[in-house]
Structure 1
Amino acid sequence: MTPSPAVVQPDQELIREILDELDLEHTLDSEGDIAISTAELTVFFLFGSEGDLFTIRTFYERYYSVDDKPMLVTALNEWNADTMWPKVYSFTQDSGVMRVVGDSQLYIGAGVTREHLTTVVAHWVRSAIKFHRWLTDRLAFETD
């Protein structure tokens, strides 16, 4: 019988190690959260206050007006219905400007294997970028 792989409790240090292994350049933001930033999006790696939830939250750098909301919500709903992650939603700032946010979450309260965590991080970052490309194409189609 093969022994089961070791279970680890993810933390920021482990996430930084995984991002280095995946060759993904990252920084710490002003609040101490790990982030990957590009011109199109910023991906944050967050841990819930109870320590049982790991979230990859992406803020997309394109801004929308409230007039764009029906078209944007239709596209986001289409993505959410067809795709497991990230789950995406619009966020309207006090100024009335809308942004798109994507979330992927993993329960880590009982621990996970390092291999699984590495796979999750790689796929979620790739999916955050894939969504950006999909939304850009989808909205370009709408406006043509």
Structure 2
Amino acid sequence: MTPSPAVVQPDQELITEILDELDLEHTVDSEGDLAISTSELTVFFLFGSEGDLFTIRTFYDRHYSVDEKPMLLTALNEWNADTMWPKVYAFTPDSGVIRVIGDAQLYIGAGVTREHLTTVIAHWVRFAIKFHRWLADRLAFEAG
């Protein structure tokens, strides 16, 4: 019988190692959160307060007006219905400017294999970028 792969408990240090292996440039922000930042989006790698949830949360840098909200929500709902991750949603802070945020989460309370974690991170980051491109194309089509 083949032994089971080793299970690890992910932490910021391990995520940093994996990002380095994947050649993904990253930084730690002023609040101590690990992130990948580009001109179009910022991807954060976060751990739940109980330590049992790993989240990749993407903040897309384009802002939308209230007038664009119906078209935006239609596009976000389409993505969420057709795609497993990231799940995306509109967030409207008090300023009234609408932001798009994407989330993908993995339960890590029992640990995960390093190989699985590496695969998840690579796919989630790729799909965070893919969503950005998809949304830009989708909204350009609607506006055209």
TM-score (norm. length: structure 2)? 1.00
Question: Secondary structure at 2:62's aligned position in 1?
Answer: coil
What is the number of residues matched between the two proteins? 144
Which amino acid in the other structure matches residue 107 of structure 2?
Y
- Superimposed CA distance per residue, residues 1-56 of structure 1 (whole angstroms, 9 cap, x where no aligned partner): 10000000000000000000000000001110000000000000000000000000
- Superimposed CA distance per residue, residues 97-125 of structure 1 (whole angstroms, 9 cap, x where no aligned partner): 00000000000000000000000000000
Listed as ranges, the matches of 1:113-132 within 5 Å are: 113-132=113-132
CA distance in 1, matches of 2:111, 2:128: 24
> What stretches of structure 1 move > 3 A for 4+ residues in a row?
none
CA distance in 1, matches of 2:92, 2:8: 37
- Map of 2:47 onto structure 1: 47
Question: Secondary structure at 1:61's aligned position in 2?
Answer: strand
CA distance in 1, matches of 2:119, 2:95: 38
CA distance in 2, matches of 1:6, 1:33: 26
Q: In the alignment, does 2:89 pair up with 1:89?
A: yes
CA distance in 2, matches of 1:141, 1:109: 42
Question: Secondary structure at 1:63's aligned position in 2?
Answer: strand
TM-score (norm. length: structure 1)? 1.00
- Map of 1:34 onto structure 2: 34
Which amino acid in the other structure matches residue 86 of structure 1?
P
Instruction: Give the C-alpha shift of residue 93 in structure 1.
Output: 1.3
Cα RMSD after superposing both structures = 0.3
Listed as ranges, the gaps of 5+ residues in structure 2 are none
Listed as ranges, the matches of 1:33-112 within 5 Å are: 33-112=33-112
Instruction: Give the C-alpha shift of residue 85 in structure 1.
Output: 0.1
Listed as ranges, the matches of 1:127-138 within 5 Å are: 127-138=127-138
Instruction: Give the C-alpha shift of residue 126 in structure 1.
Output: 0.1
CA distance in 1, matches of 2:50, 2:119: 23
Which amino acid in the other structure matches residue 32 of structure 2?
G
Which amino acid in the other structure matches residue 141 of structure 1?
F
Which amino acid in the other structure matches residue 135 of structure 1?
L
